Amino acid sequence: MNDYDYHVPTDIRFGRGKINCLKTEIGKYGKKVLLVYGGGSIKKNGIYSKVYEVLEKFEIYELPGIEPNPKLSSVRKGAEMCKNYGIDVVLAVGGGSTIDASKHIACAAFYDGDPWDLVLDRTKITAALPVFTVLTISATGSEMNPGAVISNEETKEKLEINHPLLYPALSVCDPTYQFSLPAKQTAAGCVDIFSHILEQYFQPNDGAFITDRLSEAALKTCIKYGPQAVAVPDDYEARSNLMWTGSIALNHLFTFGKGGGWSVHPIEHELSAFYDLTHGVGLAILTPAWMKYVLSDATVKRFAMYARNVWDVDDEDDRAAANAGIYLTERFFKELGMPSKLSDVGIDDSRLAEMAAEAVRTSSLSTRAYVKLDASDVEAIMRMVL
């Protein structure tokens, strides 16, 4: 196992009605709350009015309209509000995008320059307001980690900001809040969770046995409950298992003792930066192509292990087992209703080279990924699913 520092201070309140704790817990920090959310779904499903009921004695300032790929302009607006109103706590009610924007706002509130500076240079982050979250879609794991992905609409960059100060102080995870989630979003969220685990699983370190086995446990959970949550949106067992799996999928548990750079996420980030595609949809299209592209004599043992331990493939031949695992992964995404081609989502070959170059430039694809990829490799992977 590689050396690892693990420190996840987020307080998780998991279960029905846990939102009621916000009155006491936010109250420890102050009275002025910046309520950050996305579209109108939290008004339809009642969470919005529940927040006002629980926080009736607080001063709430609203920042609605956070985009699916949260934009720098929203962060700028939120940071200004924090400064102008003397906000004590940022409360994100939504999914990864809302939480990510809230984290960036929380640290930008203490920074005099443009918030984008903090993305480009994390050493400029010196303080952050406490971020509380009420999770409404399981996908990014942002409710239990210190990362956020922000899109700069001017430069077309989609980059990560990551700092220990950005762990949410507390996250309310009530599985019933996802009962009203459309099937498409449930499915895309499940693919995102699955991909987070894969990114950490497909790394060269074979000595982190415990971490590999834990990862397989979580992958199996996605396989069991993803389709079930899509089919029966109010299945509490499916929602709750997916919800907790989504949180631990990206709170460093599955990278403990491993490490290394990610592969499919940086490529997908370009798709959604250029085309505003749903992140999980892009991952579903790209993942099987990436698997086929990097499968080789050097990687076949790990792919075969994946196939046997996650998919119960019993083929003794490593290459055959690996191919079966990739096939079953592809079939799983299809079962979730995901498209499998870029053309299915309106992406042609006109900007592939540009996106491939950006993916390599803005990530560690060519330096620290499981199989190092240059721009021509990335373009080739995208061409496999045109």
CB of 384 to a second copy, least distance (A): 32
CB of 254 to a second copy, least distance (A): 10
CA 302 from centroid of its chain's CA atoms: 24
Distance separating alpha carbons of residues 62 and 60, to the nearest angstrom = 6
Looking at residues 13 to 72 of the shown chain, list those that interact with a second copy (rule: CB under 8 A). Answer: 13-16, 18
Cβ proximity to a second copy, 176 vs 299, nearer residue: 176
Output 138 or 272, the one with its CB closest to a second copy: 138
Name the DSSP letter for residue 46: S
Q: What is the closest distance, in whole angstroms, from the C-beta atom of residue 26 to a second copy in the complex?
A: 16
Smallest separation, CB 128 to a second copy (Å): 17
CB 47 within 8 A of CB 173: no
Q: What are phi and psi of 152, to 5 degrees?
A: -95, 105
Q: How far is the CB of 138 from a second copy (least distance, A)?
A: 12
Whether 176 and 243 have beta carbons less than 8 Å apart is answered as: no
Tokens for 216?
A: 């397989």
Q: Which one, 215 or 272, has the nearer CB to a second copy?
A: 215
DSSP characters over 168-221:
-SEEEE-GGGGTT--HHHHHHHHHHHHHHHHHHHSSS----HHHHHHHHHHHHH
Closest CB to a second copy among residues 142, 278:
142
Return the residues of window 149-188 that contact a second copy according to CB under 8 A. Answer: 175
Site string for a second copy, 234-273 (x = CB under 8 A): --xx--xx--xx--x----x--xx----------------
Which residues lie below 8 Å from residue 298, measured CB to CB, with a gap of 6+?
371
Closest by CA position to 32, among listed 102, 104, 86: 86
**Which positions from 208 to 227 touch a second copy by CB under 8 A, shown as an x/- string?**
xxxx-xx-xxx-xx--xx--
Return the closest-CA partner of residue 298 out of 204, 200, 375, 195. Answer: 204
Shortest distance, position 369 Cβ to a second copy, whole Å:
23
Residue 12: strand, helix, or coil: strand
- Looking at the Cβ atoms of 13 and 32, the one nearer to a second copy is 13
The count of chain residues that interact with a second copy, using the rule CB under 8 A, is 42
Which positions touch a second copy (CB under 8 A)? 1-16, 18, 175, 207-211, 213-214, 216-218, 220-221, 224-225, 236-237, 240-241, 244-245, 248, 253, 256-257
